[in-house]
Homo-oligomer: A and B are copies of this chain.
Amino acid sequence: MNDISYEQAPDLSVSLWLNTPNDISLTSLRGRVIVLHAFQMLCPACVSHALPQAKAIHQAFPPDRLCVIGLHTVFEHHDAMTPIALKAFIHEYRLSFPIGIDQDAPDNPIPITMQAYRLQGTPSLILIDKIGNIRLHHFGHLDDLHVGAAIGQLLTEKPG
């Protein structure tokens, strides 16, 4: 079912992982659907729509079939959205899924993973199928019905 033309999801460049005992590599998650939520803690649409959706997805699907990963892609207000501030934010908003801090890029306000995925801003939603292909790439909020349908499709596809 997966077309050969899909783009393989780039690796994540993360300077610090939170909410997980071990660092996460996308390769280690083959066989599972990956829901990658790129956000900034001071982005209003992320706080009001995207992160509640990420929480709901994390609760709705079994972790051995689907993995939600948050990616803190700070491209503005770098001195406000520090790792210390993010930890407080995660605590106050009761986020329990793994969250990686996107690696700063030298000479560029846009961090490395954000560049690799060519994200236009936050929130951005990336769905990755069981064999590591990017299957959905959306900037802005996407409603639960469409996200759910896309997830349902990827969960149903045979990995092979």
Contact = CB atoms under 8 A, between A and B. Distances in A.
Interface stretch (A22-30, A76-84, A110-118): A76-84
A146 B57 CA distance: 9
A3 interface: no
A9 B37 CA distance: 38
A88 B92 contact: no
A21 to B, nearest CB: 23
A150 interface: yes
Contact of A88 (B42, B89, B147): B42
A43 B93 CA distance: 8
Contact of A148 (B87, B91, B147, B156): B147
Contacts of A34: none
A7 B89 CA distance: 35
A33 B149 CA distance: 13
A155 B145 contact: no
